[in-house]
Structure 1
């Protein structure tokens, strides 16, 4: 934004100097000056709109990344609870939701994220893929303790990423997983 301000100031100064030494004397010269000013204003307005659109895209990407992290934290807590209770029904529903959360995480535009948010989304995607691979062969009579320990170990990592990016996890109650479309009733 400073560069744009400096360019505007330099352009304005150049026009003032040129106008001082080369004053328009005919109506055609006045029309040319007015047209030149109009073109410059239009260019500056287009640059301003482009900068605003870029910043809006960055904000939206950061919001989607934060929502992805919140959803990951929520679904890992739910999977941890389901494994702790050895509840097959809860486990299967939340494993399906984990698929949807991962799909949501893949929609985050990585090019628009800054360093920490980029690292968080990349790490959480990896954790989600690892969790899906680890739970793929799990059945009703599977090793619930091993899965419970796995999810229990990953929760602090997810919380740490959320805190590092300025989105600390909620301490009470389930996190709203807005944006997910599930058909699980």
Structure 2
């Protein structure tokens, strides 16, 4: 029997692409966190989620860091966690996934519920979770569509971390 969308969603996903494209030209992409943005999003069986996205290449600094160093880091990192809700029937655009932010590093996200269109698809190199808004939003001063592509991470059954703890 085929797994429900909710069952397929459960687990960890690695960020592959976070882009904003023109509604009439998907090849016209801009990258809000840069083309090499990294991140992980996780969904638990009991209805919780956590997402972290970052712009790679941050300057190293020693603890405790200066206010300016922390401010720069804060501009390049987004994290939030809370409950998720999935309407597998959705609307005419497809299934709807809601992220309700219980906590976030961006204060304006706390308590917010964000709506995403949700699709999982198999490709030759793995399973992908595609989240989008279904409508335009202002990005770099233009009305653009948002699409975030995540690839399913393999299950981790290891009892020890890899030799080098730096990824």
Give yes or no for TM over 0.5. Answer: no
Q: What is the TM-score normalised by the length of structure 1?
A: 0.22
Q: Which has the larger radius of gyration?
A: 1
Q: Which has the higher strand share?
A: 2
Taking CA–CA contacts closer than 8 Å with sequence separation of 6 or more, which of the two structures ends up with the larger relative contact order?
1
